[in-house]
Amino acid sequence: MADKIKLAGIDKAAILFDILGARLAGQLFPNLNDEEIIAIRQHISAVKNTPFEAKKLVLEEFYFSFMSKKFAAESKEATSQPFAFLEGMTEVQLAYLTRSEPTRSISILLAQVPLEMQGRLLQRLPIEIRTEAMIDLGKIKDVPLEAVLEVAAEFREKAKQIPSHAEYQEGGSKAMAGLLGTMEAKEQQKFLDYLSQEDPELAKEVKKHHFTFDNVPSLPDGILRDIFNSLDLDDIALALKGQPQELSDRIIENLPQKKQAMYEPKEGPVSRKQVEAAQKKVVEFILQMDADPENDFSIEEFAEADFIE
């Protein structure tokens, strides 16, 4: 039925203005002048009774058109400047980016940075990889453009996982710890291990503010009571999946009796993704407590760097 309705351009525009609102629609159509916008808004009453399916088709048509243009713009940038994302990256970030990569990929990335930086990055590589990378660097002109673009795309995705040094410099080690918290658990540990090797002092400062679920057992009972009493029982059960029984017992004992009676542990296999998502909720609540100026709780008191092994 909807596909039989013929809608003119002004009909479609009026439907979009009606659905999205004049302000948002106006932002999405910056090329419209005032007269055109007035004409569209006046036409809204004429399309009010358009069937829902027809309106849905108009919205879908606009969405796919908008996304196609956005994708085309991004693709053009990725093709014309495939390594633009490297601009402003520090030596430590670039070294982490090349870590555990094939020598051909390393050589392609090295070819995109200044000669002085190339030398410093090469010195960070194991001798056998360094030699191969230097040989591949000399043959870089023989690499097909398609391969270069593919390598650029892979590095671009990997770069998204690296905390911004610029933001760290502005916000200090606490800001960097916050950025680490946005990464997946495995990536957090990999980057911290790497930072510990490259800049032990910086790693130590970051760890003072980097709180993970592994630090939860160090919290006193009063803090545990505040945290877990504020969380959903299902999230608590997921977060405690696979944890030592001693920690589970301690947390449950700090819940109100009613919650203790209702609590049921998760039996059987549970995906790691679900467990880590629940644990992240716990950590996020703790970070909120730390950020609250009216709360005297401080993560730094319980962070890894503050404990003697």
Q: Where are the domains of the chain?
A: 2-80, 84-159, 165-207, 213-306
With beta carbons less than 8 A apart as the criterion, state whether 162 and 194 touch: no
- CATH number for the region 165-207 comes to 1.20.5
pLDDT (0 to 100) of residue 181: 63
Q: Could you tell me the sign of the dihedral formed by the alpha carbons of 263, 269, 274, 277, in that order?
A: positive
> What is the reported pLDDT for 231?
86
How far apart are alpha carbons 31 and 36 in whole angstroms?
10
Identify the pLDDT of residue 309. 40
Tokens of 301: 């008191």
pLDDT at 282: 87
Say which residue the tokens 């990464």 belong to. Answer: 183
Amino acid at position 245, single letter: Q
Dihedral sign computed on CA atoms, order 240, 241, 247, 251? positive
- Does the fold of domain 213-306 match that of domain 84-159? yes
The stretches of the chain forming alpha helices (DSSP H) are 9-20, 22-28, 34-47, 52-80, 91-98, 103-110, 115-124, 127-138, 145-159, 165-180, 185-198, 200-207, 221-228, 233-239, 245-253, 257-262, 272-291
> Tens of pLDDT along the chain (309 residues)?
444 567 777 888 788 777 777 777 666 677 777 788 888 888 888 888 887 777 777 776 665 555 445 444 444 444 457 888 888 888 888 888 888 888 889 988 988 888 788 888 888 888 778 878 877 777 777 778 778 888 888 888 888 877 654 444 434 455 556 656 666 667 777 777 777 777 777 777 777 767 778 888 888 888 888 888 888 899 999 999 989 999 899 999 988 888 889 989 888 888 888 898 888 888 888 877 777 767 777 766 665 544 434
The predicted structure's pLDDT at residue 75: 47
pLDDT for the residue numbered 303: 57
Q: Model confidence over 123-147: pLDDT tens digits?
A: 888 877 887 887 777 777 777 877 8
CB 248 within 8 A of CB 240: yes
User: How far are the Cα atoms of 52, 59, 275 from residue 56, in angstroms, in the given order?
Assistant: 6, 5, 38
Report the SS3 class of residue 82: coil
- Residues contacting 82, CB < 8 A, separation 6+: 148, 149, 152, 153, 156
> Read out DSSP for 216-277?
GGGS-HHHHHHHHTTS-HHHHHHHTTTS-HHHHHHHHHTS-HHHHHH--PPPS---HHHHHH
Residue-level pLDDT at 308 = 35
**What pLDDT does residue 254 have?**
87
- The predicted pLDDT at position 302 comes to 66
**How buried is residue 261: exposed, middle or buried, by Cβ count under 10 Å (0-12/13-18/19+)?**
exposed
Give the pLDDT of residue 1.
40
Q: Does the model's pTM come out above 0.75?
A: no
187 close to 161: Cβ distance less than 8 angstroms: yes
Q: Answer yes or no: are the C-beta atoms of 104 and 144 closer than 8 Å.
A: no
Amino acid present at 120:
R
CATH 1.20.210.10 for the 213-306 domain, yes or no: no
* Domain 84-159 of CATH type 1.10.220: yes
Predicted local confidence at residue 166, as pLDDT? 43
Nearest to 216 by CA among 206, 204, 228, 207: 228
State the Rg of the chain over Cα. 27
